[in-house]
Amino acid sequence: MSPIDSTGNDDRKIHQDFDFVDTQPFDTDGEEDDVCGYFEDTVPFDEDDDVLETEAVDLAGETQALDDGDAFDDVLLETEAVNLAEEIQALDDGDTQLLEEESDSDRTQVLETVDDDEVSVDNVNGEAADSKKVESSQQNSYGSMPPRFNFLHAESLRQAALACDMDLKETLDVTNSVKGTSQFCQEPLVVKDKGESFLRCSEKDGGVDQENEHGKYSVEVGGFKSKSMCKVANSTVRKLFNDVLPVETNQPSLSSNDFNEGDDLDKLPIYHGELSGLSYVNSQEPGVLSQDNALCFVDRFLKDNIMEFDQETNCLKMEGKSKSIPSTKRQHSLAKTVNDKGKARRTGIYDWDDSREDEGGGDIFLRRKEDFFKGEMRRPRSLPGFQKSKVHRLNDDKEDKKQFSIPNKRKTAVHSDSKLGMHILKVRDNIIPEATMLKRNLANELDEQFNTDCSRGEMEPNANACAQEMLDVGLDTQMAAEAMEALCNVGDIVDHVANNATHVTRSGLTYKLNNSSTGKVGSGSSKERSVQYDRKRKVDVKSKLQTSGLSKKSTKEVKQCTEDNMMTRSKRSKLNAEGNQTSSANENGRVSLSPIIAQRKSDGALKRHQLDELDNPDGNNGEGGGSSVDKRHFQDGVWHFTPIACRTRRSLAVNQLINRDIPSKSLRGGDIGIRSLEKSSGIGLQASKALNSKSTTGSSDHFEVDDNSKSCQFENSVPKASAVNVSDDVKIDTLDCPKRRRSLRIRQLSNDDKQSETLVGSSKPSAHPEDIGKSTAGKRKMRTDSVVKFHVNCQARSSSYDGSVITSVDRKQGKISEINLDKANPGDNINNSEVSSSDESPRERYKSSDLASATQAKCKMPVNDASPICMGDEYYKQSCNRNLSRSCKELHRELQSLSDIRPELLTPSKDSRKRRDMTDVRILYSHHLDEDILKHQKKILARLGVSVASSIADATHFIANQFVRTRNMVEAIAFGKPVVTHLWIESCGQASCFIDERNYILRDAKKEKELGFSMPVSLARAIQHPLLKGRRVLVTTNTKPSKEIVSNLARAVQGQVVEKVGRSVFKGNTIADNLLILSCEEDYASCVPFLEKGAMVYSSELLLNGIVTQKLEYQRHRLFADNVKKTRSTLWLKRDDRTFIPVTKSN
Amino acid sequence: VEYSVTNNALSTPGGVRFRDAIGDEYAKQTLDSATQFIWGVFQQNAPADRKDIQKINLFVEDRVVPNGVVAYTSKDEIHVIAKYVNDYGGDVKTEITGVLYHEMVHVWQWNGNGQAPSGLIEGIADYVRLKANYAPSHWKKAGEGQKWDQGYDVTARFLDYCNTLKSGFVAQLNKQMRTGYSDQFFVQLLGKTVDQLWQDYKAKYGNIP
């Protein structure tokens, strides 16, 4: 609410406006003031000024010279003047009739578009019926369609009557302003809102209307004021249309072709005709919702006299209320523009016919040119979503033109088209504040004046507190807030009687909302946000909370309507809605009939528009505009992603309606809704990071296509169904089939075009959750294809981040698991970053090119450049996945080959070992065995085919029953051959095959303890670490037991026996360390040369005992220790004469 | 019971001597005589008391075996070493007949399921040969030997002494050894431990070494 200045300022403004209007009807300054006033001030003084503007426009129209079509307009204007007097009389008669006529006029507006061909016929009937009274014409409206056209004129007459009465309202407003308090200034606004709400209530429930009517006269006064507000928008739109004409006429004058002027005039009527039909659809839909909300509040009012609201709720509602007034204007302005467009279309038709006659035979070139321009205009505007918001966009364009002074007009046209997509989201979101507004109105009415003052005083500090709290709010917290609001709604449900199934469904949904919000709390809280985004998020929080509340309440209210006695009226409202959708179906039929060439060009134009949409925020952000500009941009940013959640929840509500009576299906629908909520929140997160990202635009575009396809599906079902009941599940199931088929066609069209492939592909992941759960053969194929791409993204991400091996995906599976859905959100981020990087180069090229001379061909080039890059990336990802899958297969093969090799290796080794041991076994028996045992053993060997060895060197096993340190025993240990008992042979004989000998190793506890060894250990060490490996051994002649035996033993332990010692050994001062000298006492003389060199000489016992114990004890077995004495400088040896003699060093 | 004799060593001197000095027919007749005699010593009159063997094969073959091996038995096959036949210096026919009796015992005797000492097994075989009066002259006499399970002729003499203490001792011992073996069998049959019996046996003959 902008505060009002002093009374003097207001009077001055009024004076200025009057002067401009009277003297200069088309002066630019006058228009500028009007536009500023529209946005900056919402006081009722402007209404009076706009009324005067309307009159001026009409006068201007009369002054221009026009063709026969224009003459027809003059006739209409005269008719209105005549009827004006009658309308005034009707007002004098009574207020009741006025309200009833209003409700009838709504139906007239709705049904008008059903039969476009009969418009001219209605005109004739309308004129003939003017003389009749209002009451008689009201009766005719129930019987046939032609009389309904009368009320179109009647409504325009009422507008004139209201204008006359404005003088009284103005007086009241002036009186309020004199008092000068803000409290009193706000009251009129509140009164207006109340009036609107009760007028809508009266449309549904006559009884309630009667009571309210008698009780409060001021309500009607408020209603009149709100209508005058609508008039303001109407007049503004009319000006814009008139302004467009001069702009277009200037262009063809350059070419100096007179026929072009006629063509330009024809363009405008066709454009208006198409737009008027769609505006009905938009105007009716929010009305139905608001009426349902009002009905709910009336019921609550009747049951509970006093209702209390939390302070937080009041804060939200206060802020929400501030938006409701502008949205109210817009909605009514759409309804009013219908009148203008209806007239314009009739004029257009006649003009076109006249132009044909003027051309005579017709020029071939001119006809082609004409078709070309018509196709161009029809295609970009034929998309239903874009056409709805055309009116509002024009207003914004006018403002941009004046404030930023863009020199080139053609650029303005480009901008107006490119912003259509963004503005559609606004229109959708305008529905939300109404719920808050209606709540607020009832609350204020119930409270006393004193309570009102107290609550206002308290609200201001609370609002500040809420603002501070919201600075820290993140997206995840928003989800939690929505869940809490759902819980509040559950509380409200208790007040009303509801089906058990419905209750179960809602509680389930609430539970899932909590789960989803809990899961996301941690991820978002750690992220940093800029101040700018914080502001947007505040608005976003409010709108989202309202969205969730609205969607649930609308669902609940629809069900209550079916339960109440109001069944008949709800059916009528639905039939009206179907009528609207039917009209849009007709227009879609035109789309399909357009030629292929025009279709391609229009697609190119669509891409160009989206690129322009990306450019505008950058340009505007660079300039430091006024506060109003900043606000508008903040709103644009917020609208950009908020309604996505809103639309998603509506589809959720629709699913609940369809599956209401089937619990299992409804639960599944709830799952779909939850997933889509998560998806939409993810999209919002992306949008908040990069508002200019292309994927966001793509996703919004995709939603538009989806919504339009749904409405088309519903329209197709109208001819098949004679009556539609929400409770009748069978029919609803039947109706679903045509819907799905149509959506397939639309998507295929979009997929066929290569230029749109990139955008559609990027938006598919976000849209797919909505389609999950539907079972149709055709749709299953599409889902399968999308699933493949879906998995590709998941695989790429997991391979790049986790480094884990990816298993091949089963591409035939029809469902996507929740895990994949969780992975999809990060995948979207990856795609988003890639798309944004690829967008930079097209944007730069677009900027660098001359915008004034830009054509469709040049605009297409950036799109073409972007698509190969995106395709290349996708192809690269797929190739990476293929390589990974191949490496997995190779790894798997290697593992298989390894597993195959092992049994092959193991089996032959066992078999070969068995056969080798049996055939190669050679036994050597100890001589200490009993002869009888030996005799028996040999018989066994004969039977087994085992031979007896002659020496231990040739034998594989040595059989002995006790340890006796014989030559064979020591040699057996030296070689590490198994020393076993005769029982081993017994066991082999019984088994008739080889048996492992380790269990039969000879153990002689007594001897082992005496000598200090362990037979198994010694045998093992002898094999692993030969005793004299790497050493040279010299054995003297008389060594015991014999030189031959000792030498053989030395060789057995891998010693290198030296037979003779060359002189080289004695050249050095010392003997080599690796030489081991084994000798005996008798060979002292032979050892003297070694002793002189300081070498040590050892007994043969060193080796014999060492083999058994596997340890060499040098000190214990040293020889000639007493014969050697060593001092510091000399070495002394004892000779035969028993005296030590110093040894002289030879070297 | 069916018998067959196969001489695979006719290309060697031993094989030729077996053919000339003994002959297949005499060998086959000897196998049957030995079987009947063994069943009598073991008192296996009923087929249920015997091993289920329907055919016994005798092979004379030339192969390398450990020194001192004359013949060996593997289940129902008896192998006689040709080289031994050739090298024997005395009455080869009587010697081979005794050898066949010894080997045939191995075909029919129970072995205590593999638990009996090998000396006892061989001792029982020589005990039957002893009773058939085919003991060679180089065997040890009664009272000689170091221990009761030394095997062959030493154990055979000891078992002959035990049989004098109680007639049919060897038959009963063999019957019990059908399912297993334990030194307690001597206690059960003769009332004394085997070591005590051995000492009594040695004392009877003057404790000769």
Nearest CA-CA distance, residue A940 and chain B, Å = 8
Q: Does residue A1033 sit in the same domain as residue A1142?
A: yes
Q: Does residue A1045 sit in the same domain as residue A974?
A: no
8 Å CB contact of B119 and A936: yes
- Mean pLDDT on A115-135: 42
* pLDDT tens digits, one per residue of A698-714: 333 333 333 333 443 44
Contacts with A957 from chain B: Cβ below 8 Å: none
Q: Does residue A971 sit in the same domain as residue A924?
A: yes
Report the DSSP pairing between strands A1032-1035 and A1056-1058. Answer: parallel
Q: Contact at 8 Å (CB) between A627 and A410?
A: no
8 Å CB contact of A933 and B151: yes
pLDDT over 70 at A639, yes or no: no
Domain that holds residue A1070: 1026-1146
* CB-based burial label for A447 (10 Å; 0-12, 13-18, 19+): middle
The residue type at A344: A
Neighbours of A800 (CB within 10 A): 11
Neighbours of A218 (CB within 10 A): 10
Q: Is residue A280 part of a domain?
A: no
**For chains A and B, what is the number of CB pairs under 8 angstroms?**
53
Instruction: Tell me whether B181 touches chain A (CB under 8 Å).
Output: no
- B155, closest residue in chain A (CA to CA): A932
Q: Is residue A1003 part of a domain?
A: yes
Q: For chain B, list residues with pLDDT below 70.
A: none
Tell me which residue of A473, A592, A593, A583 sits closest to A524, measured CA to CA.
Answer: A473
8 Å CB contact of B79 and A942: yes
Say whether A199 sits in a helix, a strand or coil: helix
8 Å CB contact of A932 and B65: no
8 Å CB contact of A936 and B151: yes
pLDDT over 80 at A666, yes or no: no
Nearest to A939 among B64, B69, B114 (CB): B69
Q: Is residue A840 part of a domain?
A: no
Q: Contact at 8 Å (CB) between A353 and A120?
A: no
Q: Is residue A371 part of a domain?
A: no
Contacts with A938 from chain B: Cβ below 8 Å: 65-69
Q: What is the CATH number of the domain that holds A1098?
A: 3.40.50.10190
Tell me which residue of A702, A652, A695 sits closest to A825, measured CA to CA.
Answer: A695
Q: Is residue A1092 part of a domain?
A: yes
The residue among A1024, A1057, A1090 that closes a domain is A1024
Nearest CA-CA distance, residue A959 and chain B, Å = 14
Contacts with A935 from chain B: Cβ below 8 Å: 68-69, 122, 151-152
The residue among A967, A997, A1024 that closes a domain is A1024
- B71, closest residue in chain A (CA to CA): A939
Q: Does residue A1089 sit in the same domain as residue A1122?
A: yes
Nearest to B150 among A930, A942, A990 (CB): A930
The residue among A986, A1002, A1024 that closes a domain is A1024
The residue type at B46: A
pLDDT over 60 at A150, yes or no: no
Q: Contact at 8 Å (CB) between B38 and B104?
A: yes
Q: Does residue A1004 sit in the same domain as residue A1038?
A: no
pLDDT over 50 at A218, yes or no: no
Q: Residue A201 is inside which H or E element, if any? A: helix A182-204
Q: Does residue A1006 sit in the same domain as residue A1040?
A: no
Chain B, 74 to 113: residues with Cβ < 8 Å from chain A are 74, 79, 81
Q: How far apart are CA A243 and CA A395, in angstroms?
A: 12
The pLDDT value recorded for residue A335 is 53
The pLDDT value recorded for residue A1024 is 84
8 Å CB contact of A930 and B67: no
The pLDDT value recorded for residue A864 is 34
Q: Is residue A989 part of a domain?
A: yes
- B125, closest residue in chain A (CA to CA): A936
Total count of domains within chain A: 2
DSSP-assigned states of every residue in B164-195: HHSTTHHHHHHHHTTT---THHHHHHHSS-HH
* pLDDT tens digits, one per residue of A852-881: 433 333 333 333 333 333 333 333 333 444
- Mean pLDDT on A705-730: 39
Q: Residue A282 is inside which H or E element, if any? A: helix A258-303
Q: Does residue A1019 sit in the same domain as residue A1051?
A: no
Q: Does residue A940 sit in the same domain as residue A1045?
A: no
Could you give the C-alpha distances from A472 to A444, A534, A541, A645, in angstroms and in order? Answer: 31, 8, 12, 21
Say whether A1080 sits in a helix, a strand or coil: coil
Instruction: Tell me whether B119 touches chain A (CB under 8 Å).
Output: yes
- Mean pLDDT on A434-448: 49
According to the per-residue pLDDT averaged within each range, which of A44-58, A983-997, B102-116 is highest? B102-116
Query: Alpha-carbon Rg of chain B, whole angstroms?
Result: 18
According to the per-residue pLDDT averaged within each range, which of A283-297, A301-315, B130-144 is highest? B130-144
Q: Does residue A1003 sit in the same domain as residue A1046?
A: no
Instruction: Tell me whether A734 touches chain B (CB under 8 Å).
Output: no
Instruction: Tell me whether B206 touches chain A (CB under 8 Å).
Output: no
The residue type at A1: M
Contacts with A990 from chain B: Cβ below 8 Å: 114
Q: Does residue A1008 sit in the same domain as residue A1050?
A: no
Q: Lowest-confidence range among A614-623, A884-893, A1064-1073, B49-58?
A: A614-623
Instruction: Tell me whether A948 touches chain B (CB under 8 Å).
Output: yes
* pLDDT tens digits, one per residue of A493-520: 444 444 344 444 444 444 444 444 444 4
Q: Does residue A1011 sit in the same domain as residue A1036?
A: no
* CB-based burial label for B96 (10 Å; 0-12, 13-18, 19+): buried
* pLDDT tens digits, one per residue of B129-169: 999 999 999 898 899 898 899 899 999 999 999 999 999 99
Confidence band of A48 (pLDDT split at 50, 70, 90): very low
Q: Does residue A961 sit in the same domain as residue A1072?
A: no
- Mean pLDDT on A66-81: 45
pLDDT over 60 at A35, yes or no: no
Instruction: Tell me whether A942 touches chain B (CB under 8 Å).
Output: yes
Which has more pLDDT, A723 or B10? Answer: B10
Q: Is residue A1120 part of a domain?
A: yes
Instruction: Tell me whether B118 touches chain A (CB under 8 Å).
Output: yes
Q: Is residue A340 part of a domain?
A: no
